[in-house]
Amino acid sequence: AFSSFFNDIAMQHMDVEKDVFICLDAARVLRKFSMCSEEKMILNILRKALKKTRKTYMQAYRQTENRKRMYKDALIRLESKMRFKKVIKQALRVKAKEDADRFVKALELEQTAKVKMIT
């Protein structure tokens, strides 16, 4: 029963987080057995596996967090760039409107000047 239990654990290849819990459960179960040299050796192997698995899990977690942070920063930069573009477009629209108003006024003045010249 003991060796089949260990084989079951060895056969299960799930994601890293589950592996950590499987190793922990195995270590708990092994502690209940009387400690012969074979069991101690297996327990040590499991501890090493757990340590390695925890390390890879933490690395994966850190990488994910870093990636999240990078995406968040990129999104903030993009949003600020879009806001900046929006402000520039608005300013250009206002300037274009002012220019158009000035042009219309100039045309009106020209028209009134022509009308005055005719009369």
> Once rounded to an integer, what is the mean pLDDT over residues 48-73?
81
Count of domains observed in the chain: 1
The pTM assigned to this predicted structure is: 0.36
110-113 long-range contacts (CB < 8 A, ≥24 apart) are none
Residue 65 pLDDT greater than 70, yes or no:
yes
Q: Name the residue with tokens 């390695």.
A: 52
| Strand ranges, E, within the chain | none
| 2 and 43 Cβ atoms separated by less than 8 Å | no
Cβ-proximal residues to 23 (8 Å cutoff; 6+ apart), any chain: 9, 46, 49, 50, 53
Taking only the tens place, the pLDDT of each residue in 77-118 is: 888 888 888 888 888 888 888 888 888 888 888 888 877 777
Residue type, 99: D
Of 75 and 9, the structure prediction assigns the larger pLDDT to: 75
Taking only the tens place, the pLDDT of each residue in 13-53 is: 445 555 556 666 666 665 665 556 666 777 777 777 777 77
